[in-house]
Amino acid sequence: MENFTKLGISEENLYPLRKKGFKEPTKIQELTIPILINEDVDIIAQAQTGTGKTAAFGLPLIEKIESSNKIQALILTPTRELAIQVCEEIDSLSGNKSISVIPIYGGQSIDVQFRKLRKKPSIVVGTPGRILDHLKRKTLNIEDIKYFILDEADEMLNMGFIEDIEAIFNYSPPQKRVMLFSATMPKRIQKLAENYMKNYKFVKASPQIATNLTEQVYYEVSQRERFEALCRVIDMGENFYGLIFCQTKVEVDRVASRLIERGYNAESLHGDLSQAQREKTLNKFRKRRINILVATDVAARGIDVNDLTHVVNYSIPQNPEIYVHRIGRTGRAGKNGKSITFVNYDELGKLEIIKRISKCDIKRESFPEVKELFELKKKKINEEIEKNFDNASIFFDKWAEELLKLDEPKNVISAILSSFYKDEFDKKRYERISEKIRDNNRKKVRLFFAKGKSDKITKKTLIDFIVSHSNVSKEAIERIEIFENFSFFTVSQIDAEVILHKFKKVRNGRKPLVEKAKPFVKKN
Q: Where are the domains of the chain?
A: 2-204, 214-367, 371-429, 440-516
Q: What is the CATH number of domain 440-516?
A: 3.30.70.330
pLDDT at position 431 is: 62
pLDDT at position 286 is: 86
Kindly give the pairing relationship between strand 487-492 and strand 444-449.
antiparallel
pLDDT at position 210 is: 46
Query: Which residues make Cβ contacts (< 8 Å) with residue 62, sequence separation at least 6?
Result: 13, 90, 93, 94, 97, 99
Most confident of 27-31, 209-213, 319-323: 27-31
pLDDT at position 516 is: 92
Check whether 209 has a pLDDT greater than 60: no
- Rounded CA gap, 336 and 215, in Å? 8
pTM: 0.55
Query: Which residues make Cβ contacts (< 8 Å) with residue 109, sequence separation at least 6?
Result: none
Mean pLDDT, to the nearest integer, of 172-192?
Answer: 88
CA-to-CA separations, 225 to 244, 335, 342, 355, in angstroms, rounded = 16, 30, 10, 23
pLDDT at position 405 is: 87
Three-state secondary structure along 141-201?
A: CCCCCCEEEECCHHHHHHCCCHHHHHHHHHHCCCCCEEEEEECCCCHHHHHHHHHHCCCEE
Task: With cut-offs at 50, 70 and 90, classify the pLDDT of residue 484.
Answer: very high
DSSP 252-294: HHHHHHHHHHTT--EEEE-TTS-HHHHHHHHHHHHTTSSSEEE
What secondary structure letter does DSSP report for 470? H
Check whether domain 214-367 has CATH 3.40.50.300, yes or no: yes
The percent of residues in the chain predicted with pLDDT above 70, rounded, is 91
Residue-wise pLDDT for 137-175, tens only, equals 999 999 999 999 999 888 888 788 989 999 999 999 999
pLDDT at position 211 is: 47
Note whether 2-204 and 440-516 share their fold.
no
> By C-alpha distance, which of 219, 185, 233, 226 is closest to 44?
185
Residue-wise pLDDT for 229-281, tens only, equals 898 899 888 789 999 999 888 899 999 999 998 889 999 988 777 777 888 88
Return the SS3 of 73: strand
Q: Which helix (H) or strand (E) holds 31?
A: helix 27-38
pLDDT at position 254 is: 92
pLDDT at position 481 is: 93
CATH superfamily of 2-204: P-loop containing nucleotide triphosphate hydrolases (3.40.50.300)
- Rounded CA gap, 301 and 317, in Å? 15
What secondary structure letter does DSSP report for 517? P
CA-to-CA separations, 246 to 255, 300, 301, 379, 443, in angstroms, rounded = 9, 11, 14, 31, 29
CB-CB contact of 307 with 334 (8 Å)? no
